[in-house]
Amino acid sequence: MIHWQLGLIVWCLATGCTPAASPPAPARPGVRPGIEVLLSDSLSLVAGRRVGLVTNQSGVDSHGVSDVERMREAGIRLTALFSPEHGFRGAADPGETVGSTIDSATGLPIYSLYGRNSAPTDTMLAGVEVMVVDLQDAGARYYTYLWTATGVMRAAARRGIPVILLDRPNPVGGAVEGNILDTAFASPVGLIAVPIRHGLTLGELALLARSDFGISVNLTVVPVSGWNRSAAYDQTGLPFIPPSPNLRSLEALYHYPGVCLFEATALSVGRGSDAPFEQIGAPWLDTTLVLALLRKAKLPGVGFTSTTFTPRKPGDGKYADTLLAGIRLHVTDRAAYSPTLTAVTLLTLLLRMEPSRLGWADARFDRLAGGSELRRSIEAGESAGAIVAGWQPGIQRYLERRRPFLLYPP
């Protein structure tokens, strides 16, 4: 367990979080991430080959030992390392350009895929015979790791290099909700036609993206062993390592599919505070009125409290070092909670209360929302319930479309 403690302490020193007092419980028997399945059951996929590894601080085994350490111990010939958004250590701010560097522990180059290059170049791939990807997805369409994995697949396809994706659980389980992305709005924060909360693992998303884009890459997904889609991350026994600096807890990950939409408004989502993505706020927010309206809405599976918080730098670029009035969200029933319904309800209430202050950034909001329909529906005065009900036909079509790519039981 020492490996897990040291890794988390290093991450916390970089990001300012507080390390847990004790390591997580051992993994439940049978629950093994893709890295362990590769090393125990599928080593032939990489044996004797020069390997490029795309990973970050989340690429660990069930005891918190890093992929790099496990692979080197197994005699795998690591040639180069690659990092996604937030960098190899997971400490860079959202959207921050990350430069390439050298890993001091191994002497290997760490090529950034979030900055000047969004996919490996031919120079980066020189000498690489197989690419391995191991990243912890967040379970929401906005997360950029599918964009990174897709860029790797495209670059590997051009050079005839196989790609092996080491899968990890969807941290918030298999629930599906939200609108389907309009591919005319495809971007790093929404790449393929899936709902906001897609209910897939990164491996399944990669299989779907390969099909959607017709990428002629030899892709092998090494699955999580012993996981089913109904299990949230804290039910696996695997160590929880925050996938990015502002998603520090499983609670935040449950709110993220909804609260992230507020990044394209004048409200803070708590970046730079003690609870990012668990609260929203602004100097002008009338929390008493908002809470009264939320009580009438009777949203399932979630509670709300009034709070105050002060975003510190680096934050989300809003109200730095300013005391904000806020609403804190608390999951009370995971099975009943719908973060997208909750977010749309809040947006409709706030637009009605403060139409001149909500601060729609149309292009940015539409990019996050995967199209303009959600914004236009809210502006037209449609109720949150009607908006969410309108998503259901698209979700049913999506559930059928994704069926051939599912790797795990319900």
pTM of full prediction above 0.85: yes
pLDDT, one tens digit per residue, over 323-364 is 999 999 999 999 999 999 999 999 999 999 999 999 887 899
CA–CA separation, 27 and 25 (whole Å): 6
Answer yes or no: is pLDDT of 82 > 60. Answer: yes
How far is residue 50's CA from residue 56's CA, in Å, rounded to a whole number? 19
Q: What would the pLDDT profile of 127-165 be if each residue is shown by its tens digit? A: 999 999 999 999 999 999 999 999 999 999 999 999 999
| Chain mean pLDDT for the chain | 91
Distance, in Å, from the CA atom of 331 to the CA atom of 302, rounded to the nearest integer, reads 5
What mean pLDDT is predicted for residues 388-393?
Answer: 98
Strands 177-180 and 101-102: unpaired
Is 1 a residue whose pLDDT tops 80?
Answer: no
- 404 class by beta-carbon count within 10 Å (0-12 exposed, 13-18 middle, 19+ buried): exposed
Residue recorded with tokens 């059928």: 400
* Two structure tokens written together for 226: 């012993």
